[in-house]
Amino acid sequence: MSVHVPRLLVAGAQSGSGKTSLTLALVAALVRRGLKVQTFKVGPDFLDPTYLAIASGRPCYNLDGWMCGRAYVAALFARAAADADIAVIEGVMGLFDGARPDGPDGSTAQIACWLRAPVLLAVNVHGMARSIAALVAGYAGFEKGVAIGGVIANFCGSAGHADILRQALVAACQPALLGALPRNGLPEIPRRHLGLVSADPQTNCDTALLDRFADAAEAHMDMAGIIAMAAGAAPLTPATDPFHRTVSDAHPCLAVARDAAFHFYYPDLLEILESRGCAIRYFSPLLDHQVPVDADALYIGGGYPELYADQLAANGAMLESIRAFAGAGRPVYAECGGLIYLSRSLETLDGRRHRLAAVLPADTRMRRRKRHLGYVNVTLRRDTLWGKAGDTLRGHAFHYSELLNDPAEAPGWHHAYHLTGRSNPSGWLEGYGRGNVLASYVHLHWGGSDGVVERFVDSLKFKV
């Protein structure tokens, strides 16, 4: 039995093609037409999905070929889009850019091929005329299994310019022009050092903004042509659903930090934990005064603790609750921003130092230039919450902060991970553990790793 979900993938010819704004405009217009839209984002990005989730009214899921593998990507797509009228996938970087320069791993093209999704190629056409046909022809023929279904011209100079581009594509027998967005034709989305500012319906992504995006799509895109392109996607063979496995005998309660300071999570991973019998309780390190009383374990993800350092430091009751929880030997897992929060202090860019949880025996500091960006292979150096020594996982790291000292040099602490990446194939030691505390700059994605979920859930149930 096959699954037929109308779908399309918005890809950029290169970074800066405007695919995020174009995708948001398309989704807003489709929703306004009464369609149930399921959105996805290629790659490890936590920020673009916040906009797509608000625009669609549904969670946006990351599809990452390098971290998760084909079976997981296909199963997640099929599950999330099963009840949708149309699925819209936003690509990452340029269509063929990914984890390697010599292959498709981690690229938008890889996801397009796996999901048999027609590609709506966004091209920055500033200063371009007939050359658009050559560019599109090159992209269309570059990799087998990647089908360009249509072209969106972004940063178009005028209606006359759009007509030239349309004629060039027709004359060269290339995919049709399905939209031409003028310069400044889409609203601006605020940005900060990690990328876009996280979407918030109360501030920067409200109904009025979404209406402006939808208006732009209706005015400058061939919506009927785009919907027809999506409807023409070939049927998919369903994959094994990773969300339906045997529920663990353990039924722990995992307290997850989620507020303006901490909100970088892959929603499918939390859903998988719940499907294995793990209860999720959300709490706010900014606003609450203690860890949820029924919590067996803590998960503090990434985000922007540096923007809320004053408020986090001022919430002494929560900091003490975190310290007491960790001190009792209960499992605590922290990623990136969570690592900062567990540290003794954070020095922000203005030179001020803010005292934090002091679970991790180290201090942190923000820098103006990024300290790391890229995929990493993770090998466990000893048994942890995620598995046994020698087990491997995959993840991604992107941060502007740094540790001022190595926590593993403190008594009782150790390096839990050996990391390797394209920029450092010989690897380095990272991941900081003691007892049931584990903190790292790496955002793990363990959905495609066999046995990891069961190991994690079983390890969370604290025995007095």
Q: Sign of the CA dihedral 271, 259, 399, 342?
A: negative
Q: Residue 322: CA atoms inside 13 Å, Cβ hemisphere, count?
A: 33
- Select from 372, 217, 401 the least CA-distant residue to 306: 401
φ/ψ region of 27 (left if φ > 0, alpha if ψ in -120 to 50, else beta) reads alpha
Q: With the CA atoms of 444, 446, 452 and 456 taken in that order, what torsion angle do they form, in degrees rounded to the nearest 10?
A: 50
- 160 burial level (CB within 10 Å; 0-12, 13-18, 19+): exposed
The two structure tokens encoding residue 419: 């990391």
Q: Which residues are catalytic?
A: 336
Give the number of other Cβ atoms within 10 Å of residue 422's Cβ: 12
- Select from 135, 175, 176, 183 the least CA-distant residue to 159: 183
Please state, in angstroms and as integers, the Cα–Cα distance from residue 25 to each residue in 99, 150, 211, 231, 349, following that order. 28, 16, 9, 19, 35
Cα angle vertex 278, ends 273, 283, to 5°? Answer: 95
Whether the CB-CB separation of 9 and 118 falls below 8 Å is answered with yes
Whether the CB-CB separation of 209 and 201 falls below 8 Å is answered with no
Whether the CB-CB separation of 362 and 407 falls below 8 Å is answered with yes
